[in-house]
Copies of this chain bind each other. A is one copy, B any other.
């Protein structure tokens, strides 16, 4: 069976495409042994065949005509690493419609057009695999779909964006402020010139939607995810969090609760003893709690040409095995339920609050009364950093419904003694 050759067409030869090409070349004997068939890239779609890509390519392999791949009867697997939702989407549709298996790393495309594409794959009995779309080299899709499939998943919590994790790590370890580490991340090429997508949590939220969909077998889209970014985290928050025994991380969180699925992406205080707390720099990690397996965590590089290629090539190998064994589509889309979402106002969590108040007798009593009126009970109160007639109050609440907290904060904002509600962050420490 090792003699059988499975031909692959590659759409795109950028960072990830180049990585895929190199991994398939350098490990080709190992890969053939492990799959039971040779995998051969026979055509690569590019925009300019003359551009030097630093990858040694056999003559004639490059093409600017997608039909040379999509219409080739001998190409059985199409790998889409162009990105975007323009031509990439058209090509993936065509490839699936023609019965080819498709491997993609394109989370933007899946976030918007996933339903249609998975349906098409299922009708045609083809594979549509997308391991690289979440957490790069960490095989979290296969872990959820296959390895932990015996479990009712209770919680998925991930550090899914390397740029912001790098920034928060630098803020914590070097005591630098947000703007400062953002410039550093841009200089290092970790953050883009317009960093909105990373810094405001949109990238992590897209990945959270994909993970939640798989974990809870129900389609959850980007629009369903409550999102907050990290741009309002200050060095003060970092310092207080450290003193209180926490680290601040941007988390993608999905939980199964009796009132529905919670799905949100926001910065949060995590106990220093939590397995995710030690995940630093640009590493990603996903914590999964299942009813049988208990707590698990999966850690690795969330981006980069070779880590992403590791995931794409694993998908190609699965698709090839499935073709050899005539079983494409063996693990297909599993969104067979329609679970309700829990409104954000009902989400319960502990909270960290930092307030600037006028330093005079009776202030704490006024504040405590407002919290009490809204059923917000306080687990810890510390007054710090008194300057002149202003003091900073740092409070940790017990678990409370988001709506009660919001109502309390609105009323607090009206108090004359409260000068500023400096920051409010959720605390994730339910064990």
Residues of B within 8 A of A33 (CB): 217, 334, 336-337
Q: Could you give, for residues 267-284 of chain A, a 1 whenever the CB lies within 8 Å of some chain B CB and a 0 otherwise?
A: 000000001001000000
Q: Which one of B31, B137, B151, B330 lies within 8 Å of A296 (CB-CB)?
A: B137
Q: Which one of B300, B317, B321 lies within 8 Å of A297 (CB-CB)?
A: B300
Q: Which one of B149, B150, B217, B313 lies within 8 Å of A150 (CB-CB)?
A: B313
A310: Cβ under 8 A from any B Cβ: yes
Residues of B within 8 A of A306 (CB): 291-294
A295: Cβ under 8 A from any B Cβ: yes
Query: With the chains together, A338 CA to B55 CA distance in Å?
Result: 31
Asked if residues A23 and B150 are in contact (CB atoms below 8 Å), the reply is yes
Chain A contacts with B in 310-360, Cβ cutoff 8 A:
310-314, 316-318, 321-322, 325-327, 329-331, 334, 336-337
Q: Which one of B35, B139, B293, B322 lies within 8 Å of A301 (CB-CB)?
A: B293
Residues of B within 8 A of A149 (CB): 31, 34-35, 313-314, 317
Asked if residues B300 and A295 are in contact (CB atoms below 8 Å), the reply is yes
Copies per assembly:
2
Among A152, A326, A330, A337, find the residue whose CB has the most chain B CB atoms closer than 10 A: A330
Query: With the chains together, A334 CA to B34 CA distance in Å?
Result: 6
Q: Which one of B143, B295, B299, B301 lies within 8 Å of A147 (CB-CB)?
A: B143
A175: Cβ under 8 A from any B Cβ: no
Query: With the chains together, A334 CA to B35 CA distance in Å?
Result: 9
Query: With the chains together, A147 CA to B318 CA distance in Å?
Result: 9
Asked if residues A150 and B31 are in contact (CB atoms below 8 Å), the reply is yes
Asked if residues B327 and A148 are in contact (CB atoms below 8 Å), the reply is no
Q: Could you give, for residues 142-159 of chain A, a 1 whenever the CB lies within 8 Å of some chain B CB and a 0 otherwise?
A: 110111111110000000
Asked if residues B294 and A300 are in contact (CB atoms below 8 Å), the reply is yes
| Size of A's binding interface in residues, CB under 8 A | 62
Nearest-CB residue, chain B, relative to A143: B139
A212: Cβ under 8 A from any B Cβ: no
Asked if residues B151 and A310 are in contact (CB atoms below 8 Å), the reply is yes
A405: Cβ under 8 A from any B Cβ: no
Query: With the chains together, A310 CA to B336 CA distance in Å?
Result: 21
Q: Which one of B139, B150, B311 lies within 8 Å of A309 (CB-CB)?
A: B150
Asked if residues A147 and B139 are in contact (CB atoms below 8 Å), the reply is yes
Residues of B within 8 A of A99 (CB): none
Residues of B within 8 A of A316 (CB): 150
Residues of B within 8 A of A301 (CB): 293-296
